[in-house]
A and B are shown apart, each in its own frame.
Chain A
Amino acid sequence: DGGITQSPKYLFRKEGQNVTLSCEQNLNHDAMYWYRQDPGQGLRLIYYSQIVNDFQKGDIAEGYSVSREKKESFPLTVTSAQKNPTAFYLCASSRGTFSQPQHFGDGTRLSIL
Protein backbone atom coordinates (compact mmCIF):
# COMPACT_ATOMS: atom_id res chain seq x y z
CA ASP A 1 0.00 0.00 0.00
CA GLY A 2 1.19 3.52 -0.71
CA GLY A 3 1.59 5.79 2.23
CA ILE A 4 3.74 7.68 4.68
CA THR A 5 5.76 5.96 7.35
CA GLN A 6 6.98 7.79 10.42
CA SER A 7 9.36 6.24 12.90
CA PRO A 8 9.72 5.77 15.73
CA LYS A 9 6.22 6.04 17.17
CA TYR A 10 7.58 7.13 20.56
CA LEU A 11 10.92 8.85 21.20
CA PHE A 12 12.61 10.05 24.34
CA ARG A 13 15.27 12.73 24.40
CA LYS A 14 17.74 13.61 27.08
CA GLU A 15 18.60 17.22 27.80
CA GLY A 16 21.17 18.57 25.32
CA GLN A 17 20.65 15.73 22.86
CA ASN A 18 19.73 15.96 19.18
CA VAL A 19 17.21 13.44 17.89
CA THR A 20 16.06 12.67 14.36
CA LEU A 21 12.53 11.72 13.36
CA SER A 22 12.15 9.70 10.20
CA CYS A 23 9.54 10.27 7.48
CA GLU A 24 9.38 8.17 4.31
CA GLN A 25 6.73 8.23 1.57
CA ASN A 26 6.15 5.97 -1.43
CA LEU A 27 3.41 8.08 -2.99
CA ASN A 28 5.79 9.77 -5.44
CA HIS A 29 4.77 13.13 -3.98
CA ASP A 30 6.91 16.18 -4.64
CA ALA A 31 6.07 18.10 -1.46
CA MET A 32 6.64 17.06 2.15
CA TYR A 33 5.84 18.80 5.43
CA TRP A 34 6.54 18.59 9.16
CA TYR A 35 3.98 19.73 11.71
CA ARG A 36 3.97 19.94 15.47
CA GLN A 37 0.88 19.55 17.63
CA ASP A 38 0.60 20.71 21.22
CA PRO A 39 -2.49 20.17 23.41
CA GLY A 40 -5.31 22.57 22.55
CA GLN A 41 -3.53 23.88 19.47
CA GLY A 42 -3.81 23.23 15.77
CA LEU A 43 -1.06 21.78 13.65
CA ARG A 44 1.82 24.22 13.31
CA LEU A 45 4.20 24.02 10.37
CA ILE A 46 7.88 23.49 11.16
CA TYR A 47 9.46 23.04 7.71
CA TYR A 48 8.29 22.11 4.24
CA SER A 49 9.91 21.04 1.01
CA GLN A 50 8.42 21.40 -2.47
CA ILE A 51 11.23 19.64 -4.27
CA VAL A 52 14.34 17.58 -3.62
CA ASN A 53 17.31 19.57 -2.23
CA ASP A 54 15.12 22.53 -1.33
CA PHE A 55 13.12 23.37 1.79
CA GLN A 56 11.58 26.39 3.50
CA LYS A 57 11.03 27.37 7.10
CA GLY A 58 7.52 27.18 8.44
CA ASP A 59 6.11 29.18 11.32
CA ILE A 60 8.09 27.52 14.14
CA ALA A 61 11.41 26.43 12.58
CA GLU A 62 13.71 27.56 15.42
CA GLY A 63 15.49 24.62 17.03
CA TYR A 64 14.74 22.25 14.15
CA SER A 65 16.58 21.22 10.99
CA VAL A 66 15.64 19.15 7.95
CA SER A 67 17.15 17.69 4.80
CA ARG A 68 15.62 16.55 1.52
CA GLU A 69 18.26 14.53 -0.29
CA LYS A 70 15.76 12.05 -1.72
CA LYS A 71 12.20 12.52 -2.94
CA GLU A 72 10.93 9.81 -0.59
CA SER A 73 12.57 11.01 2.60
CA PHE A 74 12.28 14.15 4.75
CA PRO A 75 13.91 13.61 8.18
CA LEU A 76 13.45 16.15 10.96
CA THR A 77 16.16 16.77 13.56
CA VAL A 78 15.11 18.25 16.87
CA THR A 79 18.22 19.99 18.14
CA SER A 80 19.23 20.89 21.68
CA ALA A 81 18.34 24.48 20.78
CA GLN A 82 14.66 23.52 20.84
CA LYS A 83 13.85 24.26 24.46
CA ASN A 84 10.38 22.76 24.52
CA PRO A 85 10.49 19.72 22.23
CA THR A 86 7.84 17.62 23.98
CA ALA A 87 5.04 17.34 21.42
CA PHE A 88 3.39 15.17 18.80
CA TYR A 89 5.05 15.45 15.36
CA LEU A 90 3.26 14.72 12.10
CA CYS A 91 4.78 14.35 8.66
CA ALA A 92 2.73 14.85 5.50
CA SER A 93 3.18 14.81 1.75
CA SER A 94 1.25 16.05 -1.27
CA ARG A 95 1.54 16.50 -5.02
CA GLY A 96 2.42 20.11 -4.20
CA THR A 97 -0.34 22.38 -5.41
CA PHE A 98 -3.05 23.74 -3.13
CA SER A 99 -5.79 21.83 -4.89
CA GLN A 100 -4.22 18.55 -3.75
CA PRO A 101 -4.82 17.19 -0.25
CA GLN A 102 -2.03 16.35 2.15
CA HIS A 103 -1.46 12.74 3.23
CA PHE A 104 -0.29 12.23 6.80
CA GLY A 105 1.77 9.68 8.67
CA ASP A 106 0.77 8.25 12.05
CA GLY A 107 3.02 10.62 13.98
CA THR A 108 5.89 10.47 16.49
CA ARG A 109 5.45 11.46 20.12
CA LEU A 110 8.62 13.01 21.53
CA SER A 111 9.16 13.32 25.26
CA ILE A 112 11.98 14.68 27.41
CA LEU A 113 13.60 12.37 29.95
Chain B
Amino acid sequence: ILNVEQSPQSLHVQEGDSTNFTCSFPSSNFYALHWYRWETAKSPKALFVMTLNGDEKKKGRISATLNTKEGYSYLYIKGSQPEDSATYLCASAVGVGSSNTGKLIFGQGTTLQVKP
Protein backbone atom coordinates (compact mmCIF):
# COMPACT_ATOMS: atom_id res chain seq x y z
CA ILE B 1 0.00 0.00 0.00
CA LEU B 2 1.33 3.45 -0.89
CA ASN B 3 1.95 5.89 1.93
CA VAL B 4 0.53 9.36 1.54
CA GLU B 5 1.60 11.57 4.42
CA GLN B 6 0.22 14.95 5.42
CA SER B 7 1.68 17.48 7.82
CA PRO B 8 0.96 18.98 10.17
CA GLN B 9 -1.84 16.82 11.57
CA SER B 10 -3.56 19.94 12.97
CA LEU B 11 -3.10 23.66 12.86
CA HIS B 12 -4.58 26.58 14.77
CA VAL B 13 -4.21 30.07 13.28
CA GLN B 14 -5.68 33.51 13.79
CA GLU B 15 -8.02 35.09 11.28
CA GLY B 16 -5.93 36.85 8.64
CA ASP B 17 -2.89 34.57 8.98
CA SER B 18 -1.63 32.79 5.90
CA THR B 19 -0.84 29.11 6.24
CA ASN B 20 0.31 26.10 4.28
CA PHE B 21 0.21 22.30 4.56
CA THR B 22 2.26 19.56 2.97
CA CYS B 23 1.27 16.33 1.25
CA SER B 24 4.02 13.75 0.52
CA PHE B 25 3.42 10.86 -1.86
CA PRO B 26 5.50 8.25 -3.71
CA SER B 27 6.96 9.87 -6.83
CA SER B 28 7.17 6.68 -8.90
CA ASN B 29 4.24 5.86 -11.24
CA PHE B 30 2.58 9.20 -10.51
CA TYR B 31 -0.83 9.77 -12.08
CA ALA B 32 -2.58 12.57 -10.20
CA LEU B 33 -2.81 14.35 -6.87
CA HIS B 34 -6.17 15.39 -5.44
CA TRP B 35 -6.96 17.92 -2.68
CA TYR B 36 -10.32 17.88 -0.84
CA ARG B 37 -11.82 20.08 1.87
CA TRP B 38 -13.97 18.35 4.49
CA GLU B 39 -16.03 20.62 6.73
CA THR B 40 -17.65 19.26 9.87
CA ALA B 41 -21.04 17.59 9.25
CA LYS B 42 -20.62 17.93 5.49
CA SER B 43 -19.23 15.73 2.74
CA PRO B 44 -15.68 16.17 1.37
CA LYS B 45 -15.53 18.56 -1.59
CA ALA B 46 -12.87 18.59 -4.29
CA LEU B 47 -10.53 21.58 -4.34
CA PHE B 48 -7.96 20.65 -6.97
CA VAL B 49 -6.85 17.78 -9.18
CA MET B 50 -3.26 18.15 -10.34
CA THR B 51 -1.52 15.97 -12.89
CA LEU B 52 1.59 17.76 -14.19
CA ASN B 53 4.89 18.46 -12.50
CA GLY B 54 5.08 22.16 -11.67
CA ASP B 55 1.29 22.52 -11.79
CA GLU B 56 -0.10 25.43 -9.81
CA LYS B 57 -3.82 25.80 -9.21
CA LYS B 58 -5.75 28.58 -7.50
CA LYS B 59 -9.30 29.01 -6.24
CA GLY B 60 -9.88 32.31 -4.47
CA ARG B 61 -7.50 32.51 -1.49
CA ILE B 62 -6.47 28.87 -1.78
CA SER B 63 -3.72 27.64 -4.06
CA ALA B 64 -1.72 24.46 -4.53
CA THR B 65 1.57 23.45 -6.12
CA LEU B 66 2.84 20.08 -7.27
CA ASN B 67 6.32 18.55 -7.48
CA THR B 68 6.05 15.03 -8.90
CA LYS B 69 9.81 14.44 -9.10
CA GLU B 70 10.28 14.77 -5.35
CA GLY B 71 6.75 13.67 -4.41
CA TYR B 72 5.16 16.58 -2.61
CA SER B 73 2.36 19.10 -2.93
CA TYR B 74 1.72 22.25 -0.91
CA LEU B 75 -1.66 23.79 -0.18
CA TYR B 76 -1.63 27.50 0.69
CA ILE B 77 -4.38 29.57 2.26
CA LYS B 78 -3.87 33.32 2.13
CA GLY B 79 -5.55 35.45 4.81
CA SER B 80 -7.33 32.58 6.59
CA GLN B 81 -10.97 33.11 7.53
CA PRO B 82 -13.07 31.19 10.11
CA GLU B 83 -14.99 29.58 7.23
CA ASP B 84 -11.71 27.96 6.10
CA SER B 85 -11.83 25.78 9.20
CA ALA B 86 -11.98 22.21 7.93
CA THR B 87 -9.93 19.06 7.40
CA TYR B 88 -7.90 19.17 4.19
CA LEU B 89 -7.25 15.79 2.55
CA CYS B 90 -4.83 14.95 -0.19
CA ALA B 91 -4.91 11.73 -2.21
CA SER B 92 -2.55 10.14 -4.71
CA ALA B 93 -3.84 8.11 -7.63
CA VAL B 94 -2.77 4.48 -8.06
CA GLY B 95 -3.19 3.15 -11.57
CA VAL B 96 -4.15 -0.30 -12.76
CA GLY B 97 -1.48 -1.34 -15.25
CA SER B 98 -0.99 1.50 -17.71
CA SER B 99 -4.57 2.66 -17.30
CA ASN B 100 -5.41 6.11 -15.98
CA THR B 101 -8.17 4.66 -13.84
CA GLY B 102 -7.95 3.00 -10.47
CA LYS B 103 -8.01 4.08 -6.88
CA LEU B 104 -6.96 6.98 -4.65
CA ILE B 105 -4.83 6.60 -1.55
CA PHE B 106 -5.68 9.29 1.00
CA GLY B 107 -3.48 10.92 3.60
CA GLN B 108 -4.78 11.25 7.14
CA GLY B 109 -5.61 14.94 6.65
CA THR B 110 -4.65 18.29 8.15
CA THR B 111 -7.29 19.86 10.41
CA LEU B 112 -7.26 23.64 10.31
CA GLN B 113 -8.93 25.79 12.96
CA VAL B 114 -9.11 29.53 12.25
CA LYS B 115 -9.89 31.67 15.29
CA PRO B 116 -11.76 34.95 14.73
- Size of A's binding interface in residues, CB under 8 A: 28
Bound-state CA distance A56–B95 (Å) is 13
Which of B12-20, B67-75, B105-113 has 4 or more CB atoms under 8 Å from chain A? B105-113
Asked if residues A107 and B32 are in contact (CB atoms below 8 Å), the reply is: no
Out of A33, A42, A97, A99, name the residue touching B103 (CB < 8 Å). Answer: A33
What are 11 A-B interface contacts by the 8 Å CB criterion? A45-B103, A45-B105, A59-B1, A98-B32, A98-B93, A98-B100, A98-B102, A99-B49, A99-B100, A102-B36, A106-B42
Determine chain B's interface SS by DSSP, over half rule. Answer: strand
Asked if residues B89 and A98 are in contact (CB atoms below 8 Å), the reply is: no
**1/0 per residue B93-105: CB within 8 Å of A?**
1011000111111
Asked if residues A98 and B51 are in contact (CB atoms below 8 Å), the reply is: yes
Contacts of A2 in B (CB 8 A): none
Asked if residues B43 and A105 are in contact (CB atoms below 8 Å), the reply is: yes
Bound-state CA distance A41–B108 (Å) is 5
**1/0 per residue A9-43: CB within 8 Å of B?**
00000000000000000000001010100001111
Q: Return B112 CB to nearest CB of chain A, in Å.
A: 16
Provided the pairs A43-B89, A107-B43 are in contact, do residues A97 and B106 lie with their beta carbons within 8 angstroms?
no
Bound-state CA distance A103–B42 (Å) is 12
Bound-state CA distance A56–B103 (Å) is 10
**1/0 per residue B3-30: CB within 8 Å of A?**
0101000000000000000000000000
Interface flag for A8 (CB, 8 Å): no
Q: A98-B32, A98-B51, A104-B36 are in contact. List 10 more A-B contacts (CB 8 A).
A: A4-B43, A42-B108, A56-B103, A90-B43, A96-B101, A98-B49, A98-B102, A101-B49, A102-B36, A105-B43
Most chain B CB inside 10 Å of its own CB: which residue of A33, A40, A98: A98
Bound-state CA distance A32–B99 (Å) is 17
Q: Which residue of A lies closest to B93 (CB)?
A: A98
Q: Return A74 CB to nearest CB of chain B, in Å.
A: 14
Provided the pairs A42-B4, A43-B89, A90-B44 are in contact, do residues A102 and B104 lie with their beta carbons within 8 angstroms?
yes
Provided the pairs A42-B89, A98-B51, A99-B32 are in contact, do residues A48 and B43 lie with their beta carbons within 8 angstroms?
no
